[in-house]
Every structure is written in structure tokens, then in C-alpha cells.
Amino acid sequence: MSFSPPYPAPGSTLPVLELRTRPDYVGFVPRVVGVVVRIAELGVASSWAQSFNESYHTTIRGSIYSPPGLPVSDSLLLHERVHGWQEKQLGSVAYYCRYATPSGRLALEAQAYASEVVAGYRSFDHAVESITKPVYWPEPWASSPPAERASSALSDAVQAWGSAGHDSTSIRALCNP
């Protein structure tokens, strides 16, 4: 059976995240991530590292790290706060172990992208396209899941948000404050 993350109840609040601009990494794990990306930048995966650094936000240990000059939209904030919730619920070690495996990463990203779809911030097709982007699946460690697999994981997650009692209003409200 595949892994399915827990879902927050309507009326609850997702963890509030601090906003930081890369490379202002604070704490041990974020610094390790910073070093890994720096090493990737210098050799094995330089185009991946460049794309990650310039175009993607990432949440590590309670902070959103933004590329310089890239704003944080409501949609993105919801997505990243869902990751903050996942880390809190699973515990950091389990969360990172899950995220390190392709199937765990797909389930965790599907839940985060599905929150944006249910909130009405993003279309289903656009979410599928985003999940399969190579930035999540850096060669040589992983390769992008086929669109059908991403689409089925996303569709399960959209359904699970519904089963947890959510609609677009309640899901947006998870970000208050």
C-alpha cells in the first residue's frame, strides 16, 4: 500500500512559516541543504541547482526560502504551509526520509499541490505539470514520474482533502493567520 500523509481538519491552522531569502539558511538542516545545492551547482547537477536556486521556493524546518526577488503568492504560501504541517505531523526525521524517496516525495507533493487545486488557486492540469518538473527529480538520483502517475496521485490527494471535509473556503482559511 502506498503512503498517505495525514490531513488537517477544517478550522485548524497550518504552521506559520518564517520568510527568508536564499542563501540566508538558518540552522543545521537548512545549512546542509545549502551546501548540497552549492556542491550540485559546481558539478554533478549544475542546471538543476541553478533552476532550484533561481526559480523555486523551498520550506525547511519552519522557514520558506525564496530565491531573491521572487514573491510568495497565497497559493505558494498554502503549498509551503502544507509541507510545514506534514513535517510537524510526521516528525522531521520521518518527513525527510519520506521526501527522500520518489514515492514518498510524490505523495507529499501531491498533497501540497492538491491543496492549491482545492483552494482554486491552480488548475489540476497545471498541478500535474508542476509535479513532474525535473526540479523535484534531480538526475541521477531520481527521474520524473510519468504524467499518469502524477495525475493519479494528485487525484487521490484532491479526494482526500474532500474526505477530510475541505472545500475552497475552508482550505484557504487554514492559512489564517
Q: Which stretches of the chain bind Zn ion, using CB under 5 A? A: 109, 112
Q: What phi and psi values does residue 18 have, to the nearest 5 degrees?
A: -80, 145
- Minimum Å gap between C-beta 86 and Zn ion is 9
Q: Indicate the burial class of 18 (C-beta count within 10 angstroms; 0-12, 13-18, 19 or more).
A: exposed
56: three-class secondary structure by DSSP: coil
Q: Which is nearer to Zn ion, 42 or 103 (CB)?
A: 103
Q: Which is nearer to Zn ion, 19 or 42 (CB)?
A: 19
Q: Which is nearer to Zn ion, 33 or 112 (CB)?
A: 112
Residues with Cβ within 8 Å of 110's Cβ and at least 6 positions away in sequence, in order, are 131, 150, 153, 154, 156, 157
Q: Strands 18-21, 63-66: parallel, antiparallel or unpaired by DSSP?
A: parallel
Q: Which is nearer to Zn ion, 49 or 107 (CB)?
A: 107
- Minimum Å gap between C-beta 79 and Zn ion is 6
What would the grid cell of residue 57 be? 521556493
- Minimum Å gap between C-beta 43 and Zn ion is 25
- Minimum Å gap between C-beta 27 and Zn ion is 19
